[in-house]
């Protein structure tokens, strides 16, 4: 059996599907059960409706705020410390997909909250992630790019797709007082989402975090990673990126010549954000050096062969694009 949190083999443990150490890392105690007492049908009908009314986490996919009640994980509308995202009926294995994707991000050096798959009553696996905007009982201030760019619903339903990655990078510089490390982290996330074929890396999926309140309003860093999965599996014809890559939807001459994004595009983006070629190349090389490990996560993941082989093909073609020398 492979652990439903880290995907490594298990010998002996309290719950056969989990390492004791992984349960402890995710939930703080090995006594917390990863077996929930409701199934997906309950979730979709009753539980989601009861708890979504006052829930502060938004997003398109149905999700549930959870907290620990002693050794039990229970849905809650206040003081949630976990987010549960069961697989929607329309996107098969989305939970397993997001689980594997987020683990691949961690392998590539992206800060990642504790996360895993828990088991619903009917045996179905559901993705769960610990919230990074709560620390014990205190809130950690986070703002997403729609907030930082001053957009809201008045800007129209599609407001989370307004602005380009170049403009996001500039906004990060502005709100972090010119923190180049933070911009590099953003470019790293963009390369990552490109590689895994996440076509939904929009303004609400990019957020900054204020760790030291005394520095307000200067943000310290990007939040840990969230909402990363291969969306091409479900939308094979969708555009590569959720946002324009460069401001004004302009393209590099390499893009015009090749017809796909490659290393040169990331170098150009870096240049426009004050990051030199060498630094962006180092980010790319790091991903290339992690390629085998990322693929091995896919192979160990809980996705079916059908879905994981699509993922593998998508990932390989993006690595190829990144390896184009130009
Ligand atoms: N681990 C986390 N800790 C704190 N906040 C989080 C975490 N994960 C997600 N969020 C917040 O909750 C929102 C919704 O989560 P997420 O993006 O995973 O859901 P989604 O429904 O897939 O979103 P989308 O609208 O992009 O499809 C995010 O935009 C983010 O603000
Ligand atoms: Mg999201
Ligand atoms: Zn484990």
Q: Is the CB of 135 under 6 A from ligand 1?
A: no
Atom of ligand 1 nearest to the CA of 205: 29
Same-domain pairing of 162 and 218: yes
Q: Look at 196 and 53; give whichever has higher pLDDT.
A: 196
Q: Pick from 132, 148, 164: which residue ends a domain?
A: 132
pLDDT at 109: 97
pLDDT at 326: 62
Same-domain pairing of 224 and 296: yes
Q: Are 116 and 82 in contact (CB under 8 A)?
A: no
Q: Is the CB of 160 under 6 A from ligand 1?
A: no
Same-domain pairing of 239 and 306: yes
Q: Pick from 132, 148, 167: which residue ends a domain?
A: 132
pLDDT tens across 135-145, in order? 777 889 999 99
Q: Residue 278 falls within a domain, yes or no? A: yes
Confidence class for position 46, pLDDT limits 50, 70, 90? low
Q: Residue 86 falls within a domain, yes or no? A: yes
Q: Is the CB of 275 under 6 A from ligand 1?
A: no
pTM exceeding 0.85: yes
pLDDT at 111: 98
Q: Does the bond joining 307 to the residue before it have cis omega, within 30 degrees of 0?
A: no
Supply the range of the domain harboring residue 24.
Answer: 20-132
Centre of ligand 1 to C-alpha 59, Å, is: 6
pLDDT at 216: 82
Same-domain pairing of 319 and 218: yes
pLDDT tens across 227-266, in order? 999 999 999 999 999 999 999 999 999 999 999 999 999 9
Centre of ligand 1 to C-alpha 223, Å, is: 11
184's enclosing H/E stretch is helix 180-195
pLDDT exceeds 80 at position 156: no
Beta-carbon neighbours within 5 Å of ion ligand 2: 59, 205, 227
Q: Look at 77 and 31; give whichever has higher pLDDT.
A: 31
Same-domain pairing of 282 and 219: yes
Same-domain pairing of 192 and 93: no
The count of domains in the chain is 2
Q: Percentage of the chain surpassing pLDDT 70? A: 94
Is 143 strand, coil or helix? Answer: strand
pLDDT tens across 10-35, in order? 999 999 999 999 999 999 999 999 99
Same-domain pairing of 173 and 272: yes
Q: Is the CB of 88 under 6 A from ligand 1?
A: no
Same-domain pairing of 122 and 213: no
Q: Residue 76 falls within a domain, yes or no? A: yes
Q: Residue 115 falls within a domain, yes or no? A: yes
Other beta carbons within 10 angstroms of residue 277's beta carbon come to 14
Helix axes 165-175, 263-272, angle to 10 degrees: 40
pLDDT exceeds 60 at position 54: no
């Amino acid at each position: 059996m492979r652990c439903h949190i880290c995907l490594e083999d298990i010998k002996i443990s309290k719950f056969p599907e989990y390492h004791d150490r992984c349960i402890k890392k995710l939930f703080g105690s090995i006594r917390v059960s990863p077996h929930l007492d409701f199934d997906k049908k309950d979730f979709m009908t009753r539980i989601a409706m009861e708890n979504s009314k006052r829930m502060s986490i938004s997003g398109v996919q149905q999700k549930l705020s959870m907290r620990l009640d002693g050794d039990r994980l229970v849905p809650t509308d206040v003081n949630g410390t976990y987010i549960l995202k069961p697989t929607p009926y329309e996107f098969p294995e989305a939970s397993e997909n997001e689980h594997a994707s987020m683990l691949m991000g961690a392998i590539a050096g992206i800060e990642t909250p504790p996360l895993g798959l828990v088991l619903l009553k009917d045996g179905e696996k559901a993705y769960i992630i610990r919230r990074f905007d709560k620390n014990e009982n205190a809130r950690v201030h986070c703002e997403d790019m729609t907030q930082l760019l001053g957009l809201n619903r008045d800007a129209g339903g599609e407001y989370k797709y307004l602005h380009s990655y170049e403009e996001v990078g500039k906004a990060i510089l502005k709100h972090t007082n010119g923190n180049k490390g933070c911009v590099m982290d953003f470019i790293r996330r963009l390369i990552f989402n490109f590689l895994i074929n996440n076509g939904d890396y929009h303004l609400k999926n990019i957020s900054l975090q204020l760790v030291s309140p005394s520095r307000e309003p200067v943000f310290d860093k990007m939040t840990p990673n969230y909402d990363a999965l291969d969306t091409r599996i479900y939308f094979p014809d969708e555009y590569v990126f959720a946002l324009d890559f460069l401001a004004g939807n302009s393209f590099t001459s390499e893009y015009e010549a090749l017809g796909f994004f490659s290393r040169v595009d990331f170098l150009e983006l870096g240049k426009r954000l004050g990051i030199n070629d060498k630094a962006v190349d180092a980010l790319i090389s790091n991903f290339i050096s992690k390629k085998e490990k990322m693929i091995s996560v896919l192979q160990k993941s809980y996705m079916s062969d059908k879905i994981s082989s699509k993922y593998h093909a998508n990932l390989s073609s993006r690595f190829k694009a990144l390896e184009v020398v130009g």
